[in-house]
Amino acid sequence: MNATLRSVRNLPRYQEIIRVFIKHGFGFIFESLSSEMLRPLRFILRSQATKTDQATIEDLAIHLRLALEELGPTFVKLGQILSMRSDFLPAAYCEALTRLRTQVEPMPYEQVEAILEGAYGHPLQDIFASFDQSALGSASIAQVHSAELVW
């Protein structure tokens, strides 16, 4: 598959990534880019420009963590790596991103249920005698729930 076709196929994800970063106050990153992909988002960029001017470093650091969490496991993993790079990022960013190593927001139970039922091809109650809807812990690519098999 050529690069152009792959780029077109991934366009919705690229736009989602840009929207999330803009929502969290990082629209300034995209202001100087002239990519065709960004053309539909120009109006969002203009409306967000003044918000960034008022943000503090601590606020931006927290919003970077929130943006990475919202974008999913790959971005959470990137944030975990960046949290250990005090030679690359200011201390406020490293501190905010450290939470991605220990306190990632768990997926909603409905999403967990859909994934498990899709994987096993049966409703959860056919597989588990009990399944705690609250996650015991969560990380970049997994979360843990207390459960007891039917067997």
Residue pLDDT, tens place only, 107-120: 899 999 999 999 99
The rounded distance, in Å, linking the Cα atoms of 145 and 151 is: 18
Nearest to 134 by CA among 103, 116, 104, 108: 108
Task: Determine the distance from the C-alpha atom of residue 94 to the mean position of all C-alpha atoms in its chain, rounded to a whole number.
Answer: 17
Rg of the chain over Cα atoms, rounded to whole angstroms, equals 19
DSSP 136: S
Q: pTM for the whole thing? A: 0.68
Tens of pLDDT, residues 96-110: 999 998 888 888 999
pLDDT confidence tier of residue 131, bands split at 50, 70 and 90: very high
In the chain, where are the structural domains located?
1-55, 56-104, 109-149
DSSP 29: G
Alpha-carbon torsion (15, 66, 97, 103), positive or negative: negative
